[in-house]
Copies of this chain bind each other. A is one copy, B any other.
């Protein structure tokens, strides 16, 4: 076991995977020599050479498209989109090509690849360094969407994603790269090293894709969250002193519906928390699923706590961010009667 923050854990996952499989190639803007603006790919070029870890032109479209060609050849690309806000120029290749290739050719060509990207707010990044576009991918059949919330999960899920036969969107909550976040921006950040989830095994292990993690068992209500919001929701529940069952989804598609259903049937109440804008966010799908499948167990309507339906404003970071206050308001509603 080593103690790692999320960046180190992700970096380690790359190394473990690349040592074991010569077909893995890593590339992206600034991802080669420099190791990425968040340093997740640091040292890869040095250890594995320029042909396996390299910088690319600033073309998210070209990055994804060449990854498609490489996957067709038989390589396993693990690519970085510098910020999730910049994934849109590559959206056509992801939606029209990566996602549909296995299907349209009935398995003749497949697209095993990982598209990593830091996402989410809370860092004063303004409109174009704060977005959470996950639901734009969960709508697309053929893609898997994974979001870790701890160093342990980050490494294990990234290794699982790399080994997965299908394309995986791997969104990394950049706000918690260095330490978990309670949602109270005025409190100092606790580094990961103070937390058990920063205990990361050396070498190879995986955290399975498609399995949620019950991070806290409870009876009063079920909280569904992922990424940064797992920590914010947890802090809010502790502060409110509610016996919440908190589920870290880890994978949005395919979703661990079993764990969710079991929990909601038990608690009868459900609160969903995400950073992305509310309308057509992934919370909508979760809410619909929970209602469809657990309606007769529900004692109150499913509630969503989300970012607002506005772009992410630079200076009103904390009005936008779904922090403890917003969660507690929704909690009151969901616990009412």
Contact = CB atoms under 8 A, between A and B. Distances in A.
Contacts of A91: 88, 91-92
How many copies of this chain does the complex contain? 2
A310 B103 contact: yes
Interface in A80-108: 85, 88-89, 91-92, 95-96, 99-100, 103-104
Interface stretch (A8-16, A178-186, A220-228, A281-289): A281-289
Nearest to A283: B288
Nearest to A337: B296
A188 to B, nearest CB: 31
A38 to B, nearest CB: 21
User: What interface size band does chain A fall in?
Assistant: 35 or more
A142 interface: yes
A307 to B, nearest CB: 9
Contacts of A302: 288, 291-292
B279 A304 contact: no
A128 B285 contact: no
Nearest to A128: B96
A303 interface: yes
A121 interface: no
A280 interface: yes
Contact of A253 (B99, B279, B310): B279
A123 interface: no
A295 interface: yes
A51 B140 CA distance: 38
Interface in A307-337: 308-311, 313
A224 to B, nearest CB: 13
A301 B311 contact: no
Interface string A263-293: 0000000000000110111111101100110
A189 interface: no
A127 B139 contact: no
A56 interface: no
Contact of A136 (B96, B103, B136): B136
Contact of A88 (B96, B300, B301): B96
A41 interface: no
Interface in A102-128: 103-104, 127-128
A280 B279 contact: no
Contacts of A285: 279-280, 284
A295 B301 contact: yes
Contacts of A103: 310-311, 313
22 contacts: A88-B91, A89-B92, A100-B127, A103-B310, A135-B139, A135-B280, A136-B139, A138-B279, A139-B276, A139-B279, A141-B310, A141-B311, A142-B311, A253-B279, A279-B285, A280-B280, A280-B284, A287-B292, A288-B291, A291-B291, A291-B301, A292-B304
